[in-house]
Chains A and B, each alone.
Chain A
């Protein structure tokens, strides 16, 4: 089986765009290739946020289940996107489920490994935060727009 050049893959992934060869090499030590079949979960609500994922192919639904409401999907993520942000901050637990809606290929990053490297190397930490923060802001912004429920019909007078 051909060994894929992980640090190359990480460097070229949109999430870590422009990171630089040295940092890519550093963090690739925390990475491995994974795949999920359609219907499999990448993260489960309440579980320890031990791994996060850079999607290389396929789509993922972020969802929560509620009694009598079934499963509520609030966001789709696709190729080139980051799945999982709760690993960044204590208590390092997933807030919701992430389910593959088709076959997914991804780079899995070991959260503990990466948190240790960030502790040791604050410059690396800064570079990574500069990449995660825009993603968080974009998600927050989009979520707020979803929250506004702009397509809801006007309240009846």
Chain B
């Protein structure tokens, strides 16, 4: 991740202050983008509609560890002084529930009609680099393969991505190990880096696309100086040095695919509740299931799609029973898929190092620790 960040060909970086940031949100909304960003709700950072910077978690930080998440007061005016919350943007691009189609009885059988359409264009405000990487990973599964999911594709095409480069990594972060952050390099429309120091609070704004440039051009912003760019770089470099976790990914595909009978699987299974939290919070997990419902008259039916998890007992059901009945087999499937099989399937790791699976595991299972244990180093 070396080299100065210059969004090639989309215009030079700028700097905005708090007022400029507020104007950015207002401009997005005025341009017809429903704007969703980080807010505080129920003791967590939650993605919700925002109208301006007043809706952002000012002065909020977070404490994350295995099975532990708390918001804390930073005692400053930082607007982005926290890492990621339990949700990812997957909730909007690959929604938890969806009606795939409707079916209606007709004189000679039945007809298939549209299910859910596409929601309004949406700006994702505050996408972290790991989340941007996760979106790129999900693109490979849901959009860029032999078959495209039209629901994902439409939502993806209609999403404006405003990245926030990280300055406050959390205890479970390891994006540096997975080469996905803390700085976004490509794929964003706009990228912000918050600098809060003696010189005040400002945001370096980098342009990543033509439509990003179009929005940025509407703002009252001064060009970023070399000092500003260096300052932004310093923020993310410092963040890269403060990762809470580390994962050695050397030879990880062969390591996991070659060890289906490692004793560690039984050990982690003795702690794992198969609660599926990790798959729900993971920004790249994509598994879904379908269900069919009728109305009482039997005249119309719907096919619904919903998130599913390889941790559920029925996930691998075949007539007679499931293939993976033990928690051990299901944990092994999840982790081997995420870190190893994904590479065969999609050409990249499925893990972006966001740390959510560690934070939101009720028993604090740590995927980085599990890898180290299978490798045989320490623990």
A–B contact with Cβ pairs below 8 Å: the answer is yes
B-binding residues in A (CB < 8 A): 153-155
Q: Which residues in window 310-325 of B have CB below 8 A to A? A: 318-321
Q: Please measure, in the bound complex, the distance between the C-alpha atom of A155 and the C-alpha atom of B317, giving whole angstroms.
A: 13
Chain B interface: which size bin? under 10
Smallest Cβ-Cβ distance to A155: which chain B residue: B320
Binary contact track B205-233/A, C-beta < 8 Å → 1, others 0: 00000000000000000000000000000
6 A–B contacts, CB within 8 A, in A order: A153-B319, A154-B318, A154-B319, A154-B320, A154-B321, A155-B320
Q: Please measure, in the bound complex, the distance between the C-alpha atom of A32 and the C-alpha atom of B38, giving whole angstroms.
A: 94
Smallest Cβ-Cβ distance to B318: which chain A residue: A154
Chain A residues near B318: list those with CB within 8 A. Answer: 154
Q: Please measure, in the bound complex, the distance between the C-alpha atom of A18 and the C-alpha atom of B324, giving whole angstroms.
A: 48
A-binding residues in B (CB < 8 A): 318-321
Q: Please measure, in the bound complex, the distance between the C-alpha atom of A153 and the C-alpha atom of B321, giving whole angstroms.
A: 12
Smallest Cβ-Cβ distance to A152: which chain B residue: B320
For the complex formed, measure the closest distance between the CB of B313 and the CB atoms of chain A, giving whole angstroms: 13
Chain A residues near B319: list those with CB within 8 A. Answer: 153-154
Q: Please measure, in the bound complex, the distance between the C-alpha atom of A154 and the C-alpha atom of B319, giving whole angstroms.
A: 5
Chain B residues near A154: list those with CB within 8 A. Answer: 318-321
For the complex formed, measure the closest distance between the CB of A45 and the CB atoms of chain B, giving whole angstroms: 35
For the complex formed, measure the closest distance between the CB of A155 and the CB atoms of chain B, giving whole angstroms: 6
Q: Please measure, in the bound complex, the distance between the C-alpha atom of A82 and the C-alpha atom of B243, giving whole angstroms.
A: 72
Q: Please measure, in the bound complex, the distance between the C-alpha atom of A154 and the C-alpha atom of B321, giving whole angstroms.
A: 8
Chain A residues near B320: list those with CB within 8 A. Answer: 154-155
Q: Please measure, in the bound complex, the distance between the C-alpha atom of A151 and the C-alpha atom of B337, giving whole angstroms.
A: 31
For the complex formed, measure the closest distance between the CB of B364 and the CB atoms of chain A, giving whole angstroms: 35
- Nearest 5 pairs of A and B residues by beta carbon: A154-B320, A154-B319, A155-B320, A153-B319, A154-B318
Q: Please measure, in the bound complex, the distance between the C-alpha atom of A154 and the C-alpha atom of B320, giving whole angstroms.
A: 4
Q: Please measure, in the bound complex, the distance between the C-alpha atom of A153 and the C-alpha atom of B318, giving whole angstroms.
A: 11
Smallest Cβ-Cβ distance to B317: which chain A residue: A157
Q: Please measure, in the bound complex, the distance between the C-alpha atom of A153 and the C-alpha atom of B320, giving whole angstroms.
A: 8
For the complex formed, measure the closest distance between the CB of B314 and the CB atoms of chain A, giving whole angstroms: 10
Smallest Cβ-Cβ distance to B321: which chain A residue: A154
Smallest Cβ-Cβ distance to A156: which chain B residue: B319
Smallest Cβ-Cβ distance to B319: which chain A residue: A154
For the complex formed, measure the closest distance between the CB of A151 and the CB atoms of chain B, giving whole angstroms: 12
For the complex formed, measure the closest distance between the CB of B242 and the CB atoms of chain A, giving whole angstroms: 52
Smallest Cβ-Cβ distance to B320: which chain A residue: A154
Q: Please measure, in the bound complex, the distance between the C-alpha atom of A155 and the C-alpha atom of B321, giving whole angstroms.
A: 9
Q: Please measure, in the bound complex, the distance between the C-alpha atom of A23 and the C-alpha atom of B373, giving whole angstroms.
A: 60
Chain B residues near A153: list those with CB within 8 A. Answer: 319
For the complex formed, measure the closest distance between the CB of B312 and the CB atoms of chain A, giving whole angstroms: 16
Chain A residues near B321: list those with CB within 8 A. Answer: 154
For the complex formed, measure the closest distance between the CB of B208 and the CB atoms of chain A, giving whole angstroms: 51
Q: Please measure, in the bound complex, the distance between the C-alpha atom of A36 and the C-alpha atom of B115, giving whole angstroms.
A: 72
Smallest Cβ-Cβ distance to A157: which chain B residue: B319
Chain B residues near A155: list those with CB within 8 A. Answer: 320
Q: Please measure, in the bound complex, the distance between the C-alpha atom of A154 and the C-alpha atom of B318, giving whole angstroms.
A: 9
For the complex formed, measure the closest distance between the CB of A152 and the CB atoms of chain B, giving whole angstroms: 9
For the complex formed, measure the closest distance between the CB of A153 and the CB atoms of chain B, giving whole angstroms: 7
For the complex formed, measure the closest distance between the CB of B334 and the CB atoms of chain A, giving whole angstroms: 25
